[in-house]
Amino acid sequence: GESVGLHLPTLSVQEGDNSIINCAYSNSASDYFIWYKQESGKGPQFIIDIRSNMDKRQGQRVTVLLNKTVKHLSLQIAATQPGDSAVYFCAETSKAAGNKLTFGGGTRVLVKP
Amino acid sequence: DTEVTQTPKHLVMGMTNKKSLKCEQHMGHRAMYWYKQKAKKPPELMFVYSYEKLSINESVPSRFSPECPNSSLLNLHLHALQPEDSALYLCASSQERTGELFFGEGSRLTVL
C-alpha cells in the first residue's frame, strides 16, 4: 500500500550545527506535505508545509525541500538548538485522500550541547 | 499553547469500564479528527468528522465510538477496551479538507 517513511530513526547533532531529516513517500498522487515536531508528552506541532507545485519553502530556521521525481522530502533546521530536540514526522495527503493525513515513521533529533 | 483542548490528560480504566475522551476547539474549524499513537510510533488515523458528519472510519473496532455534538466538540466513547488499546489519543482539527492539522496535547489512556 501507499506509505510515507523515514530513513534515520535517530539523529544526533551538535548545538549550532544544521540538521537534515529525510523522508520518502510512495504515493505519486500526494500533493501536500507537512512536517510536524513532537516533544515528549505533547501533541504534534506544525512546523512547515509545502504543496506539490513547489520544490522549496523556507520558514524561520527551517527549510523544506521536495523532490517529486524521487518522491523525497527533507527538513533542514539551521543552527540547531536544544529546544529542537524532539521527534519529527513528515506527513502527506492528496486531493483523493481528502482529510486523511498519513504520517511517516518519525526521526528523533537529539541536540548535544 | 495548543488551541485544541483535550480532557482528561490521563485516564486509567478497567476493561469493563465506560469512559469518554473529550476534545474542544474554537478556531471555527469544520474538520475534526481522532488519532491513536503508540509509543515511538507515528499517529494513526481513527476517525474524521467533516461538518459534524463522520466522513472517515479507519476500520476502528466498535468499542471506540466517536461523537460530534457540534462543530466545536468531539468525543470518543470507550467501552470494553483491551490492554492493547493503551495509547495516546490525539484530537486534531483543520479548516480545510487538506489543510494544516492542529493537534491537542492528547489523552494518555491506560487500560488495565
- The pLDDT tens digits for A19-31 are 999 999 988 899 9
In chain A, % of residues over pLDDT 90: 76
B24 to chain A nearest CA, in Å?
14
Q: Judge: A99–B98 Cβ closer than 8 Å, yes or no.
A: yes
Alpha carbon distance B66, B62 (integer Å): 10
Cα pseudo-dihedral B94, A63, A30, B44, rounded to 10: -50
- B9-56, pLDDT tens digit by residue? 999 999 999 999 999 999 999 999 999 999 889 999 999 999 999 999
Residue A5 pLDDT > 90, yes or no? no
Residue-wise pLDDT tens digits, A58-70: 999 999 999 999 9
Chain B CB contacts of A43 below 8 Å:
2, 4, 90, 92, 103-106
The predicted-structure confidence for B42-100, as pLDDT tens digits, reads as follows 999 999 999 999 999 999 999 999 999 999 999 999 999 999 999 999 999 998 766 78
At A6 the pLDDT is 45
Contact assessment for residue A52 and residue A71, using Cβ atoms and an 8 Å cutoff = no
Mutate which of B101, B105, B107 to test chain A, going by most A C-beta atoms within 10 A? B101
Question: Measured between CB atoms, which of B31, B43, B97 is closest to A103?
Answer: B43
